[in-house]
Structure 1
Amino acid sequence: MSKLPNIIFIFAILFCGAVYVHAQSIDTLSTVQFSVSPEAPVPFERVTIEAQAVGGLLGDATITWRQDGKEVLSGVGARSFSFTTGAVGKQTLIQASVYSVSKGTFTKDFVFIPATVNLLWEADTSAPPLYRSKTLYSPGSLIKVVALPQIIRNGTFVSSNSLSFEWRVGNEPRVASSGLGRSTLVYSGNQLNQNENISVAVFLAVSNVAQSN
């Protein structure tokens, strides 16, 4: 029996960070960095943010962490903070404020809006007349994959027509099948492969619409 294609479920994350620096700070941003793990968290996933700096900048620094405006952790050496993301489209605001006697004060804001993308596939293969289940993939057959994104912005689901899709088969990008609104991939499998690894990255497209009367 032929194996089913190894269809990968890809999770999309909308993430952006804004940085605000107070006037007392001198060259602070070049010495303090923040790492986020995982970088693309899925809904209800544990996320850790860690402040990092070269030298002794953070040695005597007081770091205060706020989640959605509420202070949840503060102290000297409080370099790491963990939280759990919410449901699809649920925004979480994280703010890190660092105060150093020698370097002043600065803050950095993180905005997390988790989203998911599920992939559905079907193979263009034949089955016996009374076979009622899904037809199986066989090497070299035609595969159709449809991405079903669940991305919420401003309280409403974003249409696939407003999203950009970047498809890959294995490590090979499928440029001709990618682009704005290209939520479907049709691909002829390799006759030498029992499995096919298909993935997609989804981006929120920003477009300007001009109207002339």
Structure 2
Amino acid sequence: MNTTHKTGNKTHSVVFTILLHILVVIFFLAGLRVYGQVNEPKIEFVLNPTYPHAYEFTSVTIRSFSFDTQSALFSWSINGKPASTGRGVKSASFTTGPLGSKTAVSVIIVPFEGMKIKKTIDVYASDLDILWTASSYTPPFYRGKSLPTRGSTVTFVASPFFESAQTGKETDFLFEWNVDGKEMRQQSGYGARVFSLNIGRNSNTEYRIQARVTNPATNATQTKSFSLPIYDPALLFYELHPLQGPLTGRAISDRRAIAPDSEIQVLAVPYYASQPPAALDFGWKVENTDIARGEKGERADVLTYHAEQGSRGQQIVSLSILNPFNILERIQESFRIYVE
């Protein structure tokens, strides 16, 4: 009886000891795994430039405070091909491909004390175009672009170009607009590729515009910034031919000669005014005499000058244009008419 009891106790003790060792090993291995996860080195890729364009020389650098990068062994590869290897070689360089192409950059790191680490980053050659148009006035025959002036509105349109196998639509992209360092949150957001800026009446001489677009599907990002100068309106005079219309080949800059007993019509064009001519007040003068225009169906932007028979000499024709919606907007110019 006693022998059997002792044998049973011994068997139970052995089984208990084995189970205890198994549990210790399991917890030890689990602890190592958790320890390894918690202490996994933090590594950051730093691109220069941050958002490379097509066919642009680009460098990528490893940044980490988890191990000594100077003593670690680095082995770089670009698109699967070996690039550079050595201790402390924490940077690699390459030239991006065509717009939308991907460059796969991989690195294997062996710290002086630690486990081997492998990291990969995909670099896309992207771009961002920004087109803008101003609401300021230009005549129908003008082939140039309207310029931003005080009181006008400038509309910007951002067109991003990301990877060729682009996932997502522009409505899914995040557009962030910035003016003079200030975030335009009300006009930023997903799909907000159009942005409008009202130029104040007492605005600066220029604005600093920045757009940042991100494709959330791939985290590809592109940014562009530029200066937008603010211009003053320009007043030009053209001879208005009865058959050919405005002679736009050459503006009347300083003087215009006409013969006695003849007549000339002059068209005034307020380039880049914040309002069209029909909304502006035209104040014509010949010497110091006001010339009423715009009555009885007459065009306010056209002056008819008649030289009397036998007359000689010169007279100064001046024009002052006021904007009734912006009293600070005044455009003035003059020229001389020679009767000879």
Counterpart selection for 2:176 from 166, 169, 175:
166
In the TM superposition, what is the alpha-carbon distance from 1:172 to its structure 2 partner? 1.6
Structure 2 residue runs of 5 or longer lacking an equivalent are 1-34, 218-340
State the partner residue of 1:204: 215
Q: Tell me if structure 2 keeps the 8 A contact 1:24–1:104.
A: no
Distance 2:140 2:50 in 1: 48
Q: Decide which moves more: 67-76 or 37-46.
A: 37-46
Q: Which has the larger radius of gyration?
A: 2
User: Equivalent residue of 1:152, what SS?
Assistant: coil
Distance 2:159 2:67 in 1: 48
Structure 1 residue runs of 5 or longer lacking an equivalent are 1-22, 207-213
State the partner residue of 2:197: 187
State the partner residue of 1:109: 120
In the TM superposition, what is the alpha-carbon distance from 1:27 to its structure 2 partner? 3.6
Counterpart selection for 2:146 from 93, 115, 135:
135
Work out whether 1:29 is the aligned partner of 2:41.
yes
User: Equivalent residue of 2:206, what SS?
Assistant: coil
Distance 2:66 2:169 in 1: 47
User: Equivalent residue of 1:176, what SS?
Assistant: helix
Q: 1:40 to 1:130 in 2, by over 3 A?
A: closer
Distance 1:165 1:52 in 2: 28
Q: 1:129 to 1:112 in 2, by over 3 A?
A: closer
Q: 1:25 to 1:127 in 2, by over 3 A?
A: closer
Q: Tell me if structure 2 keeps the 8 A contact 1:168–1:174.
A: yes
Q: Tell me if structure 1 keeps the 8 A contact 2:134–2:148.
A: yes
Work out whether 1:96 is the aligned partner of 2:107.
yes
Counterpart selection for 2:187 from 172, 177, 180:
177
Counterpart selection for 1:71 from 82, 89, 95:
82
In the TM superposition, what is the alpha-carbon distance from 1:68 to its structure 2 partner? 1.0
Q: 1:127 to 1:24 in 2, by over 3 A?
A: closer
Q: 1:70 to 1:24 in 2, by over 3 A?
A: farther
State the partner residue of 1:8: none
Work out whether 1:147 is the aligned partner of 2:147.
no
Q: Tell me if structure 2 keeps the 8 A contact 1:42–1:116.
A: yes
User: Equivalent residue of 1:197, what SS?
Assistant: strand
Distance 1:129 1:34 in 2: 53
CA displacement, residues 182-208 of structure 1 (integer Å, 9 cap, x when unaligned): 1111221133223222221111145xx
User: Equivalent residue of 2:171, what SS?
Assistant: helix
Q: 1:99 to 1:149 in 2, by over 3 A?
A: same
4+ residue runs over 6 A deviation: 23-26
In the TM superposition, what is the alpha-carbon distance from 1:26 to its structure 2 partner? 9.1
Distance 1:33 1:68 in 2: 19
State the partner residue of 1:43: 54
- Structure 1 or 2: more helix by fraction: 2
Count of matched residue positions in the alignment of Structure 1 and Structure 2: 182
State the partner residue of 1:126: 137
Greater RCO (Cα-Cα under 8 Å, separation 6 or more): 1
User: Equivalent residue of 1:57, what SS?
Assistant: coil
Q: Tell me if structure 1 keeps the 8 A contact 2:74–2:87.
A: yes
Q: Which residue type is aligned with residue 131 of structure 1?
A: Y
- RMSD (Å) for aligned C-alpha atoms: 2.7
Q: 1:157 to 1:50 in 2, by over 3 A?
A: closer
**TM-score scaled by structure 2?**
0.48
Q: 1:91 to 1:46 in 2, by over 3 A?
A: same
**TM-score scaled by structure 1?**
0.73
Q: Which residue type is aligned with residue 201 of structure 1?
A: R
User: Equivalent residue of 1:161, what SS?
Assistant: helix
